Amino acid sequence: MSFKRVAVLLGGISPERDVSLVSGSACARALREDGFDVVEIDAGRDLATRLAEVRPDAVFNALHGRWGEDGCVQGVLELMAIPYTHSGVLASALAMHKERAKAAFRAAGVPVVKSIVADRHDASAKHLMTPPYVVKPVNQGSSVGVFIIRPGDNRPPGALGSAEWTLGDEVMIEEYVPGRELTVAVMGGKALAVTEIVPKTAFYDYEAKYADGGSSHVIPADVPEALSREAMQVAERAHIALGCRGVSRTDFRWDDKAGRLIVLEVNTQPGMTPTSLVPEQAAFKGMSFRSLVRWILEDASCDR
């Protein structure tokens, strides 16, 4: 399908707004360089009105986090019959809700660790799992609000029970997996490469993901060839299990001592910032950033 006028959705109202502004600006610039008529829309609650005014042929969705990545905006675009990029309503909603995504993974034989969902106040008051474990909001991205509880910690972080907490009342508590951080991008159902992420912080948190120098990326990852093949195959299975479309990115922990590879989550709208992993993997495979962005746009459709 040939598109001329493209609305790039960026910013938004989630805690990942700042990252989305950078992703969206980079994608809009690439599309303009490729000759498209691009309108950037900072997506607020008047999104449907703005889209009706702009009347784009397609939407490039560069939003991250809740509302933009969890099926809500996708539903608006389906209702308005505007072709859009990345995954559809169901896959987006499933991927954003970490525990429901795990149910889909388990059914597809994708390796995940045990976990429970609990009220944040209960999780703040006492250990609901034997340390070490991880506490994270059940439906946020970019490691927002994630805590690692280690052996010897007297209690979970008090921030979970505070009045300042704005990340939802449900949290997921899951077994902590030691080892190395790996990620695999899937494009059109085909895995691109395996990258090892080496964070400069205690773990791969928001700062490590987006701050300059927050982490280093090793591509291809220095891992056994058999493990690399396994990670790519599992990423493709995870992409299919959720019903993803376009580009996704699957994050792993490789417990090299225990010899197990665990899926942490699938990102249905991976970051497209200067430090982002998907553009790096595309470049490793010989695809420029402009070509990647154009491919994502040309894959846009409704009823995804």
Q: Which residues are catalytic?
A: 16, 142, 210, 249, 251, 265, 267, 271
Per the structure block, which two tokens stand in for 214?
Answer: 């927050």
HEC assignment per residue over the chain? CCCCEEEEEECCCCCCHHHHHHHHHHHHHHHHHCCCEEEEEECCCCHHHHHHHHCCCEEEECCCCCCCCCCHHHHHHHHHCCCECCCCHHHHHHHHCHHHHHHHHHHCCCCCCCEEEEEHHHHHHCCCCCCCEEEEECCCCCCCCCEEECCCCCCCCHHHHCCCCCCCCEEEEEECCCCEEEEEEEECCEEEEEEEEEECCCCCCHHHHHCCCCEEEECCCCCCHHHHHHHHHHHHHHHHHHCCCCEEEEEEEEECCCCEEEEEEEECCCCCCCCCHHHHHHHHCCCCHHHHHHHHHHCCECCC
Angle, CA 263 vertex, CA 258 and CA 268 arms, to 5°: 165
- Rounded to whole angstroms, the Cα distance separating 124 from 117 reads 13
Task: Please state, in angstroms and rounded to a whole number, the distance separating the CA atoms of residues 224 and 285.
Answer: 19
Beta pairing class for 247-255 and 260-267: antiparallel
